[in-house]
Structure 1
Amino acid sequence: MLKRCLVALVAGVLLAAAFEPVAAAYVVPVAVAGFALATRGLRARSGFVVGLVFGVAFYFPHISWMTAVGTDAWLALAGVESLFYGLLGAAAAYLHRLRAWPLWLAAAWVTVEVWRSGWPFSGMPWGRLSFAVADTPVAPALAYVGMVGVSFLLALLGFLLAALVLAVARARDRRALVAGAALAGVALLSVLPAAVPFEPATEETATVAAVQGDVPGPGNDILYDFRGVTDNHVEATVDLAEQVAAGTVERPDFVVWPENSTAVDPFADASTNAGIRRAVEAIGVPVLVGAIVDAGQTNVLNQGIVWDPVTGPGERYTKWHPVPYGEYIPFREFFTGQFGRLAMIPRDMMSGTRETPLEIAGTAVGDAICFDVAYDDGIQAQVRNGAEMLTVQTSNATFIETDQIEQQFAITRLRAIETGKTVVVAATNGVSGIIGPDGGVVASAAPRTQEVLVAEVGLWEGTTPGVLVGPWVGRLAAIATGIGLLLSVLAYRRGRGTTAPRNADEASPDPRAAREDEEQESVR
């Protein structure tokens, strides 16, 4: 078990290195292969332990930026997410015993990714394998099979690599040939879209401005001077209007402000309302304002509000995925009594459900607020309903000195590829940018600066195969995982008691384990 735990530990750390700031995406299959080798031939209980070691080694460094919120928050969130890999390790103990086990394990990996991305509460999608493929030949596959599909391909590559290693180690030439051929085939399939990338047929364009107003003071606290944050965005927009009037900058069709550009309700706070109206009237085009809006005495809404220079506030998008214990508190009565810091969140943020794009200056705009960009549901719903481009309003001030802003921007670039849409990102103080449908960065603003990005972007109302297929890959993977576990359990029950395992700690749940015990020594 110690050797297996060490293998899992190394594999987990290796997977963490696949993401920003290291961004060594090519280690993903190697890390997944390490997980497979570490969990092969174990009972479920031992598989859980080894999987948990893998999860801890991966997830704790991967979201180390959560320490900006608090060490306790980092430990709690990373600990919960690590448990999912423990469950995956337990499932692997059974699925390893099926024929074509790399396929079954790849389905299980994707099932766990989808599961933990939506549960508990709103889930935590950070760390999906597909989020590591920016600037790699695999990235174009997102437009064809979506985030879930790319995760499946990467997991399958890793498990096939493990199968090849096992076959070579045991001098089983025929199995090595089959595993090698399958590995080469899946690798080719994964990079084939790079040769024939999906190209949306953009016929119309819009000129869009993204305002990064910056955050006063230390830069990591919106509430340090929340009125100063709003003033910065107002003044930056007024300056843009002056440049437009002088003819040095093209007039945008609309302007995007970030999340928390107003941290108080602009309908209740006269000063904030006046500032927004001043900016909108100066530029003379709609502004998508990021605002916190009151929803009674105990709730708030995190919204993107289309503010028109003539008609005033209109359509709104409400954040789909507020952050538990960051923007709302589940089981509030219990936890606020135990953790005094949670008293800083006096009201719970409510979730949005809008599935249609916003109509801004004649353009159908799919919006996402901050962490929404990492979830499939809200963005894909708006794309299926005709969004011609996407905007991401985000406030990463809390994480401005961490790797989180790089990770989120990478995810945003991948969303552009998956959806075939231009994505305009407005952040309070970084990273703002304009991203093309191929994931390329057209323009960006450095963190901790005040800057306005203006660009003409292509519009496309179609839907990529990845948006249509991706959710079904997850559903089919879940069904396959359930079938695989059922088959394994039935096989175990049929053979239970017929073969005594040599090592109770590392015995297989399948009666064929006795015939393979000697082979397992190569990975123990």
Structure 2
Amino acid sequence: MTTLDRDEALTPAALPRPVGTGGPLPLSVAAPLAVLAGLALLVAFPPYGVWPLAPVGVAMLAAAAHRRRLRAGAGLGFLTGVAFFAPLLAWTNLHTGYLPWVLLSLLQAGYLALLGVATAWVSPLADRSRWAWPALTGLLWVGQEALRDRTPFGGFPWGRLAFSQDTSPLLRLASLGGVPLVTFAVALVGGSLATAAWRGWAAARRTPQDDTSHAGGPQGDTPARRWAPVAVPAVVAVALTAGALLVPVATAGSGATVTVAIVQGNVPRLGLDFNAQRQAVLNNHVDATIELAARVAAGQERQPDLVVWPENSSDIDPLRNPSAGTRISQAADAIHAPILVGAVLLGPGPGQVRNAGILWRPGTGADMSQLYTKRHPVPFAEYVPLRDVARMVSKQVDLIRSDFVGGSTPGVVRAGPAVLGDVICFEVAYDDVVRDTVIGGAQLLVVQTNNATFDVAEARQQLAMVRLRAVEHGRPALMASTVGVSGFVAPDGRVSDATGFNTREVVVRQLRLDDGRTLATRLGWWPEVALAALTVAALLGAAVLRRRQRVMPG
């Protein structure tokens, strides 16, 4: 007899036990529920942004996989993963064909299959105490994400639960424990909803005769006693979400004020061939900056202290191509401010390139001491691991002729009035890459990105990550994109001056820098380590309990 089922158990063996109280949900219910779980998770993320559906999706998968055999749990988790990741990552097939999208979606769905296995595995622990189920759900999601964020080839952290909460009260928890704590909180709320729904279903199926036999008399089980196990977890779920509003976060920085301009120069046309348009893309950003300088001279715009161009704003190496370098210098001299340029640099070896942010100062040009090289190039997009093996799957890997080489130092760029924490494109999804810049002294987080090969959904998903990073580290932040969405983010996650997609725009804003450190910054990776250790402990505990149940007589 388990605690979770105690209220539903029937004393006389002759009476039928309600379906689902002693076993899993019928597969005819669990399979559609797993698909709905994936769709609920999808709609929680931008561009839809219905964040309350994230814990609902978690609850659906938790209920579907509860008490199932391990293979069934894997299958249900995989169904959720496909329903979630395939549409979430649909932007990966816009210009590269279906194969990369399908392979990436199936790979990511495989991690949710592991989550389904783990959920089924820990069912005996969840059954021992009704309060164990929410905590176990939270731990398993953190453990799954910790694995998915690192494997294979450095992982792919897109679609972490925390990144769906950019407008949720739970976003504030990022300042205490970063992404892992927010993910844990979302899944904890989902586990509470699963507990309430499971017991509500059992209570709804119970007959008056069941109540009498269970309690020994007609007065033994009142409606209040029957529905309390349903109401309490549901109230806890709401209270956890609303309670996050009590976590204090800064609304603005506490340091010096700087004026920053984001130049979104746009590209002649979207698609992979933006590289063939590289001179036009560079000219777009130069011309937009010179136009800004004219507005500043006319008193129509505030003089910026810093200008930020996006990733790939100069795919012509300005250090080796005098014409490209001259054009960037024209822009810097006109605006009288340093420009953080997103550039593709040749080398260090033959057939190698670097994705870099380089500070270009007026009058002097490139400042080689303030150069950041992207530390986490994207596998199969910026470089091809196991190229000979990958070519057997698709010859499209040969479209990547030169492999990007990763840098080795954090993106701390000292740009005169501000110390920048520069991360490039997908790096914003990696906890350590962003945190290392703050530890290194960054006062303003800068995300340089190029969304010309994707769509507005991908851009908005990325901006949601920037919002979380701003709260996590108590820093103002900005995202500069070639085509959008660009914008500024306050330390409390509010977005200002967000640009449109596939447009040419320049936005200028005053920001207050910040040198402080949040608890999340100080703790670093320890919240994730602690939660992951508890996850392992839960899996081991379930193994012990399962063994005991197998050897128990009867």
TM-score computed with the length of structure 1 as normaliser: 0.90
Structure 2: state its 5+ residue gaps.
1-26, 204-220
CA deviation vs aligned residue, 1:2-26 (integer Å, no higher than 9, x gap): 4322211111111111112222111
Distance in 1 separating the partners of 2:74 and 2:136: 17
CA deviation vs aligned residue, 1:281-328 (integer Å, no higher than 9, x gap): 222221101001112112211000011124432211122222111111
Mean Cα deviation higher: 351-360 or 9-18: 351-360
Residue type matched to 1:36 in 2? A
SS in 1 for 2:169: coil
- Is the contact made by 1:14 and 1:31 (CA closer than 8 Å) also made in structure 2? yes
In the TM superposition, what are the counterparts of 1:99-498 in structure 2 within 5 Å?
99=128, 100-171=132-203, 177=228, 180-185=231-236, 187-199=238-250, 202-218=254-270, 221-295=273-347, 296-314=349-367, 315-355=370-410, 357-400=412-455, 402-469=456-523, 471-496=525-550
1:79 aligns with 2:106: yes
SS in 2 for 1:291: strand
CA positional deviation for 1:201: 5.2
Distance in 2 separating the partners of 1:469 and 1:11: 32
Alpha carbons of structure 1 residues 174 and 305: separation in structure 2 relative to 1, 3 Å: farther
**Deviant stretches of 4+, over 4 Å:** 172-176, 497-500
CA deviation vs aligned residue, 1:461-494 (integer Å, no higher than 9, x gap): 1112233346322111211111111122222233
Distance in 2 separating the partners of 1:389 and 1:369: 14
- Is the contact made by 1:329 and 1:348 (CA closer than 8 Å) also made in structure 2? yes
Alpha carbons of structure 1 residues 2 and 330: separation in structure 2 relative to 1, 3 Å: farther
CA positional deviation for 1:372: 1.0
Structure 1: state its 5+ residue gaps.
501-524
Alpha carbons of structure 1 residues 197 and 273: separation in structure 2 relative to 1, 3 Å: same
Distance in 2 separating the partners of 1:293 and 1:145: 36
CA positional deviation for 1:219: 6.2
Distance in 2 separating the partners of 1:317 and 1:180: 53
Percentage identity across paired residues of the two chains: 37
Q: Which residue of structure 2 aligns with residue 20 of structure 1?
A: 46
Distance in 2 separating the partners of 1:147 and 1:186: 19
Which structure is higher in RCO with an 8 Å CA cutoff and minimum separation 6?
A: 1
Mean Cα deviation higher: 479-488 or 311-320: 311-320
Mean Cα deviation higher: 266-275 or 307-316: 307-316
- Give 2:87's match in structure 1, choosing from 26, 49, 61: 61
Residue type matched to 1:204 in 2? A
CA positional deviation for 1:91: 1.0
For the pair shown, the structure with the greater C-alpha radius of gyration is 2
Residue type matched to 1:33 in 2? A
Alpha carbons of structure 1 residues 342 and 43: separation in structure 2 relative to 1, 3 Å: same
In the TM superposition, what are the counterparts of 1:481-520 in structure 2 within 5 Å?
481-496=535-550
Residue type matched to 1:444 in 2? A
- Is the contact made by 2:356 and 2:374 (CA closer than 8 Å) also made in structure 1? yes
SS in 1 for 2:453: helix
SS in 2 for 1:445: coil
CA positional deviation for 1:82: 0.2
Alpha carbons of structure 1 residues 230 and 441: separation in structure 2 relative to 1, 3 Å: same
Residue type matched to 2:279 in 1? R
Distance in 1 separating the partners of 2:258 and 2:287: 23
Residue type matched to 1:56 in 2? V
CA root-mean-square deviation: 2.1
Distance in 2 separating the partners of 1:462 and 1:356: 18
SS in 2 for 1:397: coil
Distance in 1 separating the partners of 2:437 and 2:114: 33
SS in 1 for 2:44: coil
